[in-house]
Amino acid sequence: MTVLSRQAGTHTLNEPLTDGEVLRIRNDFPILDQDVNGHPLVYLDSGATSQKPISVMEAEQEFYEQRNSAVHRGAHTLAVAATDVFEDARATVAAFIGAEGNELVWTQNATAGLNLIAYSFGNASVGAIPEQEKKFALTAGDEVLVTEMEHHANLIPWQELCRRTGATLRFIPVHDDGTLDMEAAATLLNERTKVFAFTHVSNVTGVINPVAELTSMAHAVGALVVLDACQSAPHLPLDVKALDVDFAVFSGHKMLGPTGIGGLYGRAELLDAMPPFLTGGSMITTVTMDQAQYLPAPQRFEAGTQSISQAVALAAAVNYLEETGMARIHDWEAALGQRLVSGLEAIEGIRVLGPASGIPRAGLASFEVAGVHAHDVGQYLDAAGIAVRVGHHCAQPLHRRLGLSASTRASAYLYNTRADVDAFLTAVAGVRGYFGVEVETTP
């Protein structure tokens, strides 16, 4: 099959996406061409995991058919070929986020990347600390700062790090609309802050945080910045160098890639100074029965056999996104996000979480239906062929702050159309009637 043939000669990267082009894009995603429960599938759960284009699936299959071998080990032809495409994939994905190849560590997913950082910092906090590791070591009196909107993956590893080291975990609260309290941020960032970890885009409210401003504030007090880019890397242009973050993580399966592969960006001088997290083969230079010496980054953090075919497929996903144009994707999704929010706001008995319509947000919307549990909402929509996410979206503290235990989330991507959003809104409008729930009115 011809990779990305739908795009040849059809646009420039300065032109906005159109309904016609999005329909052509959909042809590259076979899973979307099916009926679910007797209705055409409307997939609005890309915030959880994205669908994969043909070119990505073909890239992984082609690796197994033509180049399958262990990387960085054998000297035979297949091993060399496998290593070449593996490292070419690293360079491709690193460039996609504005980094150098030696600044990208392959991980299983973003959660693994965040745990890698936290456990590496914990390893730097034990015993006699080498000089180059002191910047990462935490003790009692040090602070780790997060926000109230974090996904559990960017909260629990820091809770555990503080528990092990005696450091204190603090968080920046959010306003009622889910936006970050910047005045509180300015107060909480202080000379005791060693690490500031926060999300670029909230997976619940769609809030896009001012990364460059927050990073500048953190660096002014000497804190290291860890960015959760899970909901930004797939959806908007991301340049980690321009944002000046010290670390960033993302997951391949949310950006058209396969499962089992993600990335950790770290500034080269930081990665080379950090102690390893996992140890074993492929990340060492010399081993005796008493001790080991480790390779520089990124290999020092890649013990054992890596997700080779998945890395190759993720590079194909990145190529697909770049050929479509990340700015174009972001603009299209932002418009769909506004259509979602304004449409939900117009339905009686619906409370939308996060900023109101007209305020910039990512292409997702979480909401509450008065009198109907989110799980029931999800089941009703599924019966209409509409796939959404229900629950706390791995963000229980944020839901608790907003007065909920669960919500329903619709999240769009480059293959979604206005018609998808409209079908979703039509279905949501029928939820309360189906469950026989009336909205209480104020006398």
pLDDT for 324-361, tens place per residue? 999 999 999 999 999 999 999 999 999 999 999 999 99
What average pLDDT does the segment 80-92 reach? 97
Work out the percent of the chain whose per-residue pLDDT is above 90: 92
Residue 130 has pLDDT above 90, yes or no: no
Residue 8 has pLDDT above 60, yes or no: no
Residue 253 has pLDDT above 90, yes or no: yes
Q: Give the pLDDT band (50/70/90) at residue 136.
A: very high
Half-sphere exposure of 384 (CA within 13 A, CB side): 21
Q: Give the pLDDT band (50/70/90) at residue 441.
A: low
Residue 14 has pLDDT above 50, yes or no: yes
Residue 1 has pLDDT above 80, yes or no: no
Residue 162 annotated among the catalytic residues of the structure: no
- Return the pLDDT at 126: 80
Predicted TM-score (pTM) of the model is 0.95
Instruction: Name the least confident of 228-232, 274-278, 394-398.
Output: 274-278
The full set of domains in the chain, from first to last, is: 5-49+326-435 (3.90.1150.10), 60-322 (3.40.640.10)
Give the pLDDT confidence of 45-81 residue by residue, as tens digits: 999 999 999 999 999 999 999 999 999 988 899 999 9
Residue 2 has pLDDT above 50, yes or no: no
What average pLDDT does the segment 82-107 reach? 97
- Report how far residue 114's alpha carbon sits from residue 116's, in angstroms, rounded to the nearest whole number: 5
The active-site residue out of 79, 295, 394, 429 is: 394
Instruction: Name the least confident of 18-27, 205-214, 361-370, 433-442.
Output: 433-442
What average pLDDT does the segment 127-156 reach? 93
Residue 139 has pLDDT above 50, yes or no: yes
What average pLDDT does the segment 121-140 reach? 88
130 or 20, which is more confident: 20
- Return the pLDDT at 105: 98
Give the pLDDT confidence of 169-195 residue by residue, as tens digits: 999 999 999 999 999 999 999 999 999
What average pLDDT does the segment 108-129 reach? 92
Give the pLDDT confidence of 382-405 residue by residue, as tens digits: 999 999 999 999 999 999 999 999
